Amino acid sequence: MNNLRRLPLAAVLAATLIFMAVLSTLIGGTNPSQISSGLLVASDAESTALYCSGLTSSSVTFFNTTSTSHNVSVSWTTDTGSSGSSTTNLASHDTWNIAQFGKGSVFAVAAQIHGGGVVGSVAGANGLQGTCNSAGVTSWFGAGFDTTVGSTGDLSIYNPTATAAVFNVSTFTNSGFSAPAAFQGLSVNAHQLVVLNLGTQLVNLTNIGVHVKVLRGSLEIVGIQHSGNSVSYYPGENQLSQQNWFPLVTTSNGAKAQLRYANPSSNTISVTVNVSLPPFSVQPQTLTVLPYSSGEITITPNTAIPANGYAFVSSSSSAPLLTALVLGTTKGLNLFAPQVPTSSILLADFSGSRLDTAEVTNTSKHDVTVNVTSLPSSAQGAYGSSPAFKIHLKAGASTKVNLTNIASGELMSTTKNVLLVTVALQTVPAGINLLSALNAR
Amino acid sequence: MESRAPAVVAVVVTTGPGPGLEVTLASLVAQDYEELSLLVIANGEHDNVSERVAAVAPKAFLRTLDENKGFGAACNEAALMVDGAAFFLFCHDDVRLETNAVQMMVEAAFRTNAGIVTPKVVQYEDPMVLVHVGQTADRFGVVQERVDLGEIDHGQQDLERDVFVAPGGVTLVRYDLFTTLRGFDPLIPVLGEDLDLCWRAQVAGARVVVAPSAKVAHRQTISTGERLISAVGTRRRSRQDLQRRHQLMVVATGWGRVSTLLTLPLLAIMDLFEFLLSLISGDTDRAGAIISSWLWLFNNRKRIRERRRLRGQVQVLSDSELRRLQVGGASRLKRFTTTLLREGLDRARGVLPEAENLPEVISSGETSGVGFGAAFSENEEFDEISESDEISLRRRASRVLTSFRAQAVTIVLVGVFWLIATRNLAVMPLPLVGRLAPLDSWWSTWRHFFASWSPNGVGTGTPGMPGYGVLGFAGTFVFGRMGILPRLALIFSIPVGAIGTARLLKNRVSNRARVIASIAYLAMPLGLNMISQGRIDVLLFTAAVPFIVRRLFELLAIPSFRDGAYPAPVHFGLQGWRNSEAGQRTVLVMIIALVSAMIPATLIAVLVIVVGIAIARFFELDENASRVRPWRMLLAMLGSVAVFLLPLTINFFFAGRRALEIFGIARGPWDVPSFGALIRGSDGNLGLSWAAWLLPVAALLSFFVCRGIRRNIASKAASIATLSLVLATLSLHHWMGTFAPDADVLIALYMAMVALLIGLGVSALENDLRQAGFGWRQIFAGIFVSMLVVSTAPFVLSSSSGRFDLPTNSVAQSLSSLAPSNSGAYRVLWLGDPTVLPVAGWSVAPGLAAATTMNGLPTGSTLFTPPDSGTSDVLLSDVQLALEGRTVRLGSLLATAGISTIVVMNASSPELAGVQTVPIRPVPNTLRTALHMQSDLSLELQTSSVEVYANSLFTGLIHATSNGSNPVPVVANVGVPGHLQMTPASNVHVVAGLAPAGAFALTVNGKTVPRSTAVGWAPKYQVGTVQGNEKVELILHQFPLNGLLALFTLGLWAFVWLGFGWVHRVEWLFNRRHRRVIVPSSETGDNE
């Protein structure tokens, strides 16, 4: 037999092996980490949960976004141990409001829904609003808390599981890292609420960054920042990021706008903030955040940035860090977390505030089409009867939209996680309060 | 003139036709010894004897005996007729004496004062070839030649000396000695009478001397089969049978009391060993001869006493003096061991055809050894290939590892090293990792095979898995000590695979190449990793795969594996059927079925082998390829395996979409070995160093340097190896959907092919490279050898722990408090990568399998999981719901099934820095997130290896409720009575988390209560009003269909097993018919 007859077989085998090697290298498997939550859970799910926290002066509103009714079982507890429960069948596109939580200043609500597609909102006076989340977290970051005179920074920590949770809290301030002994090894019993006052350990400090590391179990955490006469519910972040977008940052006279950063790493991080304020051209603002420290860039008032309505602000950094947007006046500040680009956003206002403007942003480098659907109220009949329209957005572009039916719900969706929708409420001065989307984690 | 020479009477005993009688008589007549008388004894059949004798030796006396009582009896008869002679010369009728033979023997007798003199015996046809120059014997009566087979007579043996045995043919015996000894023992008519006479003569103080100056040619008509043994009482006996019983008689009566007490038990032990070996190897003739010899001895106990009394009367030499005349040790044992080592078991047990009948080897220079031990050949000719004189003058073959001694030492060293490397596996407590769950008792294991219900998942009534049957069968051989089985698998699977590799290469490469390939197989990382992960299922495949490959190659007529047609068909059940094509196919089917029962992915490996061969043949068509139809054969084989594993087959066809999971469960693509690791054959922590590249690279080089038939085989091996790698990659990355055959099985097949290629590569070095001119090939040789040497380094280093890094403890065993606080039965749900879980389960998602155990840790009852998940789908879909974020009350959903605890495993053992390292195979991150989201699960334990959740809504596997009140656990289990301890209530119902619902009945105070179903699958019993503390019992009511199916399967196995000649053998046991077995001639001693 001729030895050359081996070559075709050798070539085929070699080609096959090389092909498989390349393929398996290029298409490496990744461990899935995204689990459906919030609005992404189908309405026919076996059960979903919502966890909300806020001041007992607020109320919780559950909104069934689906076309089928769902049983909702709610139990609540307060920081003084008061508790209660209630059950209802929530009709399609109907809402259910709970306002009485018993004794205490902070409440936590756990709602178990037989099905999916129900969202919840915490709303209070003066446009105070927050969002209910569908799952606890094992790591939580916050930035921008103040404990100065007249300010109180609290963490409302609720354990939604049957596991007694244990967690540590560490902080980053202008003076560096701190892990107060009183904040270490804290525990929360199953389905119980703990309120942590940052001011007890971090006295008279501004721009405090917080990291809550859950050692066991998972927790639902909401920051409650009292600042002068303003109160804000701060949802925090699950992970650090290098790039953030703030489409509606006010530059109005009398307003204050700050980007607050906290660096939880051991490296110095450089931050660059680009401000888009047509027709003006604004030089990028830069900041260096030292390790385990915090810092801020003031957008308003800033002599380099003219007062001209809403600016589009994007922030990028040399390494992941914590970012928070602070809006307000000299009388008080509201704390907002940066929005995370997503594919579907539900907006609804149960606080009765009026909208000033809304901006839709495409954070990707590709053009996208955004479908906008107005959810009907329960009185309007079948789902889908309300008009829908589409918005075409070029790569990195943003546009202002007119939201007609925000009271009963506006749903915006696209195919990829690239969408930001920011809504400013009508305030004086303009733009010092933003509406929270209802589909938080 | 009066002669002064002593009188000699030549006694010629002739039997039957006596083809050499005339020549014998003529040579006696022609003797130059004057005082020689000739007496012919016609022993039994004596047609025309007188005429024949008269024609050649008219002066000879003739005595005819009515019946043939044997040579010894005839000689005794002759002795009675003679008076006044000095010597007897006992002659067979097939000898030819030289003219001075009698003279020389008589002179030697006087010169040495010998009682018995034997001549130098040469071949009848070729007097230059020596046959006997006297013989020796050991204390067990085993006769040994003093010359080699075919030894040429150069005068090297021409020295008068004492010997222990004067072999029959021509023997000079002093008259008075013969009389004193009372002649030959008539109980020993043939085969052994010479040994007996000489033994007794020496006990009596007579010398036995060989006189080489006397030369006799012996035709050996009995040992060559020219003439049958026809003495009375011997016609139905085999030569072996006669020889053994006579030796036994000699030994039993040849020693004093003390020596007999020592010698006979030793002989009994050796015979027992030989008997067992004969049984194992199917040599029933030998086994029968051994048993028969001892029975015969027992039956002749009177004769023993008589012989011992006579011995006492004539004894002169003590036992110690007698022993000094013999050779030391046990000749038969020595010969067996040497033959075993040199030529393998088949040759050692003496039933194989002679070497010249063995299949032709690839190269004329290669040995035709048999068995793994045949590597120990001192013959170095296999290194010598036919080559031109010019080349042979220029080069000399490597002598490394070519000698028998070198190969034997290497194998012994490797064996010792392996035992040292696995020393702790024999004694350490086995951790609960991989498939090392403690086996149930032998009886319970069989019960699992026959069981109508098994506790997998939420319970299933599917047929018992055949793996239990295999385990039960294997447990029989360890006398029910089931704990030994996993240790045996851990320690010996890979060495058995290495032996299989040597068998795979048998007759195809040199013994040196076989040894090297076997060592390479031992050093493969996959096997070591499987030990460290406790994957005894894969280890079993590792042991079997070389044997499967060899038989498939034979069936598919791969050149040099099978070049011709099979023997003519033999009817099923008759001996020889096994060697027919149908028999060979059945052997392969049974091997595949046995291994598939333990690890069904074996079937995929078989498919890969056949497809790989087909691909290789597509490019290079074999000459014999047209004779086989691989696809038809494959289908037939798979069909046959399906029949042999009928319970599994039924499970497979009822499993629906999960059917393919029988071959393996998808692993998480995020933690699978890289393609580089796959090529190195590593799926674990061992074999990730650069040195592990050397074996596959050596195999690759082998592929390119092989020539001729070696290249043909290498092409097949390369094709199969590539296909294995491709399929393993596709499986690991979950690119074939639910079809995810066990990648470790495929890697094991790949490793077997690498070992095969290495063996072929070494052979190519010995043959192909030496035929080529100097160039890159010679450089390759150096590189190749260096790589093989260095590649064993990781193997050596990994042996330091004495357990190949098998953990000393496990995650599962550390979960000591799995039991819930409330009493009663409960289940544990195990979630994790399928290779990490200590129990077999079903797939939930890639990288996530789920399994349940009853009342704590895995046991032998959940070793195998049927592919048909059946009702257990409720559990899997609940976990799937959680994984998709579609439920937050998983505990509530699982509570009905009695799940008290969820164990999420990322590793099979805890990682202990500096002590033990284990592969971390994390579950999908979404599972962790999902479990954290659950409102009714309580995290009890969280480490990097494991997370344990307690179900806060667990209410017992069997619980009772009343009108919506909180459930109360019922302290009962299936078949175990309990009490309903609850406050008096009405409308009470009991729910059991056991499926199928129809299989169970509940009795309350001995009365069966009506049943319905809860949550669609769980049996719910309407108890009604209770007063508290009612006696309840849950009883399994199931028609034993599974048992009948298992019985049928066992019967099928037994029936086919009988087909391997056992019908014939059983028949032989009853009618005592003989089979002809070729026995090495040296063993028989040619004593006729």
Domains delineated in chain A: 38-123 (2.60.290.11), 139-234 (2.60.290), 339-441 (2.60.290)
Is residue A382 over pLDDT 50? no
Q: What residues does B701 pair with on adjacent strands?
A: none
Exposure of B774 by Cβ count < 10 A (0-12 exposed, 13-18 middle, 19+ buried)? exposed
Question: Between A and B, how many residue pairs show a Cβ–Cβ distance under 8 A?
Answer: 154
Average pLDDT over residues A407-432: 84
Quote the pLDDT of residue B529: 93
Contacts of A160 in chain B (CB under 8 A): 933, 935
Distance, in Å, from the CA atom of A409 to the CA atom of A380, rounded to the nearest integer, reads: 13
Q: Stretch A99-126: mean pLDDT, rounded? A: 91
Rg (CA), chain B: 37
* Cβ atoms of B147 and B89 closer than 8 Å: no
Q: What is the pLDDT of residue B778?
A: 62
Residue B725 touches chain A, beta carbons under 8 Å: yes
Chain B environment of A28 (Cβ under 8 Å): 669-670
Residue pLDDT, tens place only, B214-270: 999 988 887 777 777 777 777 677 778 888 888 889 999 999 888 888 888 888 888
Q: What is the pLDDT of residue B229?
A: 75
Which B-chain residues 797-856 have CB contacts (< 8 A) with chain A?
Answer: 846-847
Residue intervals of chain B classified under CATH 3.90.550.10 are 8-236
Residue B1067 contacts by C-beta under 8 Å, 6 or more apart in sequence? B1073
Amino acid at B794: P
Rounded to whole angstroms, how far apart are CA atoms B609 and B549? 7
CB contact under 8 A, A24 and B675: yes
What is this structure's pTM?
Answer: 0.73
Interface of A with B in 149-188 (CB under 8 A): 160-164
| A residues 43-72 closer than 8 Å to B (CB) | 45-49
**Nearest by CB to B707, which of A3, A46, A160?**
A3
Q: Mean pLDDT highest for which of A8-22, B3-17, B273-287, B374-388?
A: A8-22
Mean of pLDDT values over B461-488: 94
Across chain A, how many H-helices and E-strands are there? 1, 33
The string of DSSP codes covering A153-193 is: EEEEEE--SSSPEEEEEEEEETTEEE--GGGSSEEE-TT-E
What is the distance between the alpha carbons of residues A396 and A418, in angstroms, rounded to a whole number? 9
Please indicate whether residue B705 or residue B588 has the higher confidence score (pLDDT). Answer: B588
pLDDT for the residue numbered B371: 32
Q: Is the pLDDT of residue B813 over 80?
A: no
Per-window interface: B 614-633 vs A, CB < 8 A: 615-616, 619-620
Identify which of A20, A32, A217 has the shortest CB distance to residue B925: A32
Segment B995-1051, tens digit of pLDDT = 898 889 999 888 899 999 988 899 999 988 888 778 888 888 888 899 999 999 999
Say whether pLDDT at B356 is over 60: no
d(CA A30, nearest CA chain B) in Å: 5
The Cα A6–Cα B1020 span in angstroms is 68
**Contacting residues for A268 by C-beta, under 8 A, at least 6 apart:** A288, A289, A290, A291
Q: What integer is the mean pLDDT of A384-397? A: 77
Do B932 and A31 lie within an 8 Å CB cutoff?
no
- What is the average per-residue pLDDT within B439-452? 94
Determine whether the interchain pair B726/A17 forms a contact, defined as Cβ–Cβ distance below 8 Å: yes
Q: Residue B342 has what pLDDT?
A: 62
pLDDT of residue A93: 87
In this predicted structure, what is the pLDDT of residue B572? 81
> Length of chain B, please?
1088
Chain B: nearest CA to A24, how far in angstroms? 7
Residue B566 has pLDDT above 70, yes or no: yes
Look at the block and give the residue holding tokens 């005993």.
B13
Residues of B in contact with A6 (CB under 8 A): 620, 703-704, 711, 715
Which class is domain B8-236?
A: alpha beta
A49 min Cα distance to partner chain B (Å):
6
pLDDT tier, A441 (very low <50, low <70, confident <90, very high otherwise): low
Residue B675 to residue A34, Cβ atoms within 8 A = no
- Kindly indicate the confidence band of residue B367, based on its pLDDT and cuts at 50, 70 and 90: very low
A4 vs B: CB within 8 A:
no
Cα–Cα distance measured from residue A105 to residue A54, given in angstroms and rounded to the nearest whole number = 8
Torsion sign (Cα): B173, B179, B181, B185: positive
Identity of the residue in B725, B734, B937 whose CB atom sits nearest the CB atom of A20 = B725
Residue B435 backbone phi and psi in degrees, to 5: -115, 35
Query: Strands B842-845 and B848-854: what pairing?
Result: antiparallel
**pLDDT higher than threshold 70 for residue B408:** yes
**Average of per-residue pLDDT across B40-57:** 82
DSSP string, B283-306: -HHHHHHHHHHHHHHHHTHHHHHH
Does the complex come out with an ipTM higher than 0.90? no
Read off φ and ψ for residue B475, nearest 5 degrees.
Answer: -60, -25
Indicate the average pLDDT of chain B.
85
Distance from CA of B834 to the nearest CA of A (A): 15
Please say whether the beta carbons of B1051 and B644 come within 8 A: no
Grouping H, G, I as helix, E, B as strand and the rest as coil, residue B657 is helix
